[in-house]
Amino acid sequence: EVQLLASGGGLVQPGGSLRLSCAASGFTFSSNAMSWVRQAPGKGLEWVSSDSGHSTYYADSVKGRFTISRDNSKNTLFLQMNSLRAEDTAVYYCVKNSGGSCYSGLGYWGQGTLVTVSS
């Protein structure tokens, strides 16, 4: 059974940093593309970043501030978020892509972790 357990969210001041983690199990993590997607309170879905293991991709809204990475030895995905802004406030979902490519459906979503950027 696929499991994605995201952690690391919380309340942070504007300009601050947070590091999200996502512990994955139930599939071969190293050969699967992974993504982060966020959802602001009461709003729709916004893609943030994807990592195929060979390439990384970012939304323009986070490029230069967020960094996606993975530790295949620990089956863990990360999202380092710097220079946080109020508009980054959202539930952040860790997502398993449907295959090894980032150009694939978002096959399985974890429960998400809430990031609140406020003074």
Query: Given the rule CB under 8 A, which residues bind another protein?
Result: 35, 37, 44-47, 50, 57, 59-60, 93, 98, 102-112
**Choice between 98 and 118, CB closer to another protein:** 98
The closest alpha carbon to 53, from 33, 23, 35, belongs to 33
Tell me how far, at minimum, the Cβ of 35 lies from another protein, in Å: 8
In DSSP terms, 59 is beta-bridged to none
**Choice between 11 and 45, CB closer to another protein:** 45
**Choice between 13 and 92, CB closer to another protein:** 92
CA torsion through residues 46, 57, 61, 89, sign: positive
Tell me how far, at minimum, the Cβ of 44 lies from another protein, in Å: 5
Q: Which helix (H) or strand (E) element contains residue 113?
A: strand 113-117
Report residue 57 CA to chain centroid gap: 12
**Choice between 12 and 49, CB closer to another protein:** 49
Tell me how far, at minimum, the Cβ of 97 lies from another protein, in Å: 9
Please return the burial class of 59, using the count of CB atoms within 10 Å of its CB with bins 0-12, 13-18 and 19+: middle
Tell me how far, at minimum, the Cβ of 9 lies from another protein, in Å: 14
